Amino acid sequence: MFSRILIANRGEIACRIIKTCRRLGIHSIAVYSTADADARHVREADEAVAIGPPEPGASYLQVDRIIEAARQSGADGIHPGYGFLSENPLLADACRSAGIAFIGPPAEVIRAMGSKRRAREIMAGAGIPVVPGYEGEHQDDQSLLDQARHIGFPVILKPSAGGGGKGMRIVRSEQRWAEMLTGARRESRAAFGDDQMIVERYLARPRHVEVQVFADSHGSVVHLFERECSIQRRHQKIIEEAPSPAVDEDIRSRLTSAAVAAARAVGYQNAGTVEFLLDEDGSFYFMEMNTRLQVEHPVTEAITGVDLVEWQLRIAAGDPLPAGQEEIASHGHAIEARVYAENPFNDFLPSTGRIGRFLHPVGALDLRVDTGFTDGDAVQIHYDPMIAKIIAWGEDRDQAVDRLRRALARTMITGPTTNLPLLRRVAGHPDFLGAGMDTGYLDRHLGDVLCAGPAAGDVALIAAACALQMDQDDSPESAVDPHSPWDRSDGWRAGGGGARMRFADACGDSRELGLAGWGGRYTALIGDRCLPVTASRLDPDHLDVRIGDDEYQATVLTDGDECFVGLDFGGFEIRRVPLFPSAADRGEEDLHPVAPMPGRIVAIHVAEGERVERGDPLLVLEGMKMEYTLAAPVGGVVARIYFREGDMVEADTRLVDIDNAGDSEQ
Ligand code: ADP
């Protein structure tokens, strides 16, 4: 077994690997860029080596620096985690030359599976069904179009060298073909340095089901059952579970046999995942094989009790598989939700910034939280914006869902915008509870899922208002004359202290609430109801709130106007807004669109002096992990463009001025 392992990664996965190292008594060595000098993975590792500047290309993706760091620190193995160099055969090659074990499969296997084209060829050759499509050499526009016609629209374009959803385009009809192909190639070149495409039939309502496999260097291959990852946004997984509710014993047996056959066909070693699309009629197709540990591996750990990282280490050290197929059993159900710094209400734009508070349940029954962040850590532009994974286990799916929902309700992050509201909505959505979602579900129903049901519940509003008001009641100005209404800007006049407040949820729906009273004893006016409320603080983040005869424990965090409220039955993110919003505010913003995220301007579609209609594309911004097309918020004449193609811009920088004076006079 190894004695010193270097982890060529960062964030939650580095922290995850460190945990297993610690348990096994292995010395862990972290690497870090200058931006990560005080990151959590660096703090948790036994030792850490600096490898360069913040840009991944100059640090985490530099094979030479990683090998040098391993040499310098005397590591006998390198664990690549996922992302970064994990599927880059050059690291595996370099490890071999340096006499350091690579904790993953042989370089040749990574090379073969890293090309979606080659992988499809090998699997088809081994008799495993693949999605009908074209992965050939003829990459000119006309040949690809001919293939797409032959397959039949809709089709999906994927970079052959791809991963992470980058450069993929669904082309629904021939009219959009040329534009989509250009975009897919551009994104693919930027991300992978290669623009070869494969064209596949786009299945209408498939589910994403993948099988965890393990193979040792002695010829044994086993599977650790399947995971379902159909809850995706933009073809990226956000909620995963095991086992798959769509897989019965018959499908399971065919699916896992195909996965084991796939692993054998490529001479696999170590941990791998064979991804399939499962069609509505129970047929499935090979999609790709990931030659590394997956983000969602904890759900498999939760149902099998196996520490996948430990198995990876043992196999890389030359040991045989720790268990045979018949010894691997599955028990219960596990679900993982990925918390990202991104805004589901605004096109999933990534968000960055320092986390003020990160609260999540600890020590709860059958709950696991994997994260690389704590209070005060920054989500940085250079890296993946995933903040945490919340994994709940239950005896059955209902219990796992219930535990996940409670956990999400009590998880709060101040600072960057997160997708927590979306995760909470999905976890409580009838179609998710009924396990009826396919991979396109969320993209098709995003509006309904995000803004369905009542706006933030009355209890949450009252709890938020009490927390704000108690702070106000405690403040020194208020202590001078707690009952004086005259200094207040919020307009409340009735019966002494208290306030009128308006809160909006992320969908923009707002509600008003009045609170009369002082020091935790209030009367709340909400809608046409008048309710007696008493609130007391249990600690700075928790309130005991009694409304009439009902008592609630609420977690309340405030960050400026933002309020995060966690209750047993749900989590709410609401914002205090002015009682009387000015209608002019919005119009002014529309004339000066700003960068919604930090990034590089990769294309400008308009010139100064040109006329645009509302919705016309103005420019394309490439940031953290996506391309974003900025559309004209209003019609008018482009008066000024502040940047040129290739320029880097910060979030909220003014990009363009639109003059619509002429329009409004009409
Ligand atoms: P990447 O490696 O970039 O993540 P994948 O090939 O794994 O890309 O596909 C990611 C997701 O895209 C799948 O989980 C599925 O939702 C969708 N997808 C991929 N291929 C197809 C297809 N042929 N038909 C329908 N959906 C597809």
* Residue, of 199 and 193, whose pLDDT is higher: 199
Are residues 340 and 404 located together in one domain of the fold? Answer: yes
Residue 510 sits in a domain whose CATH number is 3.30.700
Distance of alpha carbon 498 from alpha carbon 481, whole angstroms: 13
Are residues 567 and 648 located together in one domain of the fold? Answer: no
Residue 120 lies in a domain: no
Q: Which residues have C-beta within 8 Å of that of residue 511, sequence separation ≥ 6?
A: 455, 456, 461, 502, 503, 526, 527
Residue 96 sits in a domain whose CATH number is 3.40.50.20
Residue 213 sits in a domain whose CATH number is 3.30.470.20
Are residues 178 and 316 located together in one domain of the fold? Answer: no
- 313 CA → ligand 1 middle, Å: 30
Are residues 572 and 594 located together in one domain of the fold? Answer: no
Which one of 184, 201, 218 terminates a domain? 201
Q: What is the pLDDT of residue 475?
A: 74
The predicted model gives 173-200 an average pLDDT of 92
Structure tokens at 239: 């909620």
Using pLDDT thresholds of 50, 70 and 90, give the confidence band for residue 243.
Answer: very high
Residue with the nearest Cα to atom 6 of ligand 1?
Answer: 287
Q: What is the pLDDT of residue 657?
A: 94
The predicted model gives 336-360 an average pLDDT of 91
Q: What is the pLDDT of residue 596?
A: 81
Residue 622 sits in a domain whose CATH number is 2.40.50.100
- 235 CA → ligand 1 middle, Å: 6
- 158 CA → ligand 1 middle, Å: 8
Q: At what angle do helices 116-125 and 249-265 cross, to 10 degrees?
A: 110
Are residues 89 and 197 located together in one domain of the fold? Answer: no
The 10s digit of each residue's pLDDT in 385-413 is 999 999 999 999 999 999 999 999 899 99
- 537 CA → ligand 1 middle, Å: 48
Does the CB atom of residue 206 touch ligand 1 within 6 A? yes
Substitution candidate for ligand 1 out of 235, 438, 444 with most atoms within 8 A of CB? 235
Residue with the nearest Cα to atom 23 of ligand 1?
Answer: 202
Q: What is the pLDDT of residue 505?
A: 84
Q: What is the pLDDT of residue 483?
A: 47
Using pLDDT thresholds of 50, 70 and 90, give the confidence band for residue 494.
Answer: very low
Does the CB atom of residue 287 touch ligand 1 within 6 A? yes
Statement: residue 365 has pLDDT above 90: no
Residue 153 sits in a domain whose CATH number is 3.30.1490.20
Structure tokens at 310: 């430990």
The 10s digit of each residue's pLDDT in 42-83 is 999 999 999 999 999 999 999 999 999 999 999 999 999 999
Residue 312 lies in a domain: yes
Does the CB atom of residue 163 touch ligand 1 within 6 A? yes
Q: Provide the β-strand partners of residue 21.
A: none
Q: What is the pLDDT of residue 488?
A: 44
Residue with the nearest Cα to atom 21 of ligand 1?
Answer: 202
Least confident of 110-124, 329-343, 577-591, 617-631: 577-591
Residue 121 lies in a domain: no
Are residues 512 and 568 located together in one domain of the fold? Answer: yes
Are residues 32 and 83 located together in one domain of the fold? Answer: yes
Residue 432 lies in a domain: yes
Q: Which residues are catalytic?
A: 292
Which domain covers residue 148, as residue numbers?
132-201
- 547 CA → ligand 1 middle, Å: 48
Atom of ligand 1 nearest to the CA of 285: 23
Q: Which residues have C-beta within 8 Å of that of residue 445, sequence separation ≥ 6?
A: 431
Which one of 140, 166, 201 terminates a domain? 201
Residue 55 sits at the vertex; the CA angle it makes with 50 and 56, to the nearest 5 degrees, is 75
Residue 665 lies in a domain: no
Q: Shortest CA distance to 551 belongs to which of 560, 543, 559, 563?
A: 543
Q: Which residues have C-beta within 8 Å of that of residue 348, sequence separation ≥ 6?
A: 233, 234, 342, 419, 626
Residue 664 has a CB neighbour count (10 Å cut-off) of 9
Report CA-CA distances (Å) from 54 to 62, 228, 382: 12, 34, 7
Does the CB atom of residue 599 touch ligand 1 within 6 A? no
Q: What is the pLDDT of residue 586?
A: 53
**Total structural domains within the chain:** 5
User: What percent of the chain is modeled with pLDDT above 90?
Assistant: 70
Residue 179 has a CB neighbour count (10 Å cut-off) of 11
Which one of 521, 545, 577 terminates a domain? 577
Using pLDDT thresholds of 50, 70 and 90, give the confidence band for residue 487.
Answer: very low
Are residues 92 and 152 located together in one domain of the fold? Answer: no
Residue 125 lies in a domain: no
Q: What is the pLDDT of residue 518?
A: 87
- 441 CA → ligand 1 middle, Å: 14
Using pLDDT thresholds of 50, 70 and 90, give the confidence band for residue 140.
Answer: very high
The predicted model gives 511-521 an average pLDDT of 89
Are residues 464 and 561 located together in one domain of the fold? Answer: yes
Does the CB atom of residue 403 touch ligand 1 within 6 A? no
Does the CB atom of residue 227 touch ligand 1 within 6 A? no
Least confident of 263-277, 411-425, 561-575, 602-616: 561-575
Are residues 243 and 347 located together in one domain of the fold? Answer: yes
Residue 116 lies in a domain: no
Q: Which residues have C-beta within 8 Å of that of residue 148, sequence separation ≥ 6?
A: 155, 171, 174, 177, 199
Atom of ligand 1 nearest to the CA of 159: 3
The predicted model gives 508-514 an average pLDDT of 85
Are residues 440 and 566 located together in one domain of the fold? Answer: no
Are residues 553 and 491 located together in one domain of the fold? Answer: yes
The predicted model gives 571-597 an average pLDDT of 77
Residue 290 has a CB neighbour count (10 Å cut-off) of 20
Residue 123 lies in a domain: no
Distance of alpha carbon 582 from alpha carbon 505, whole angstroms: 18
Does the CB atom of residue 208 touch ligand 1 within 6 A? yes
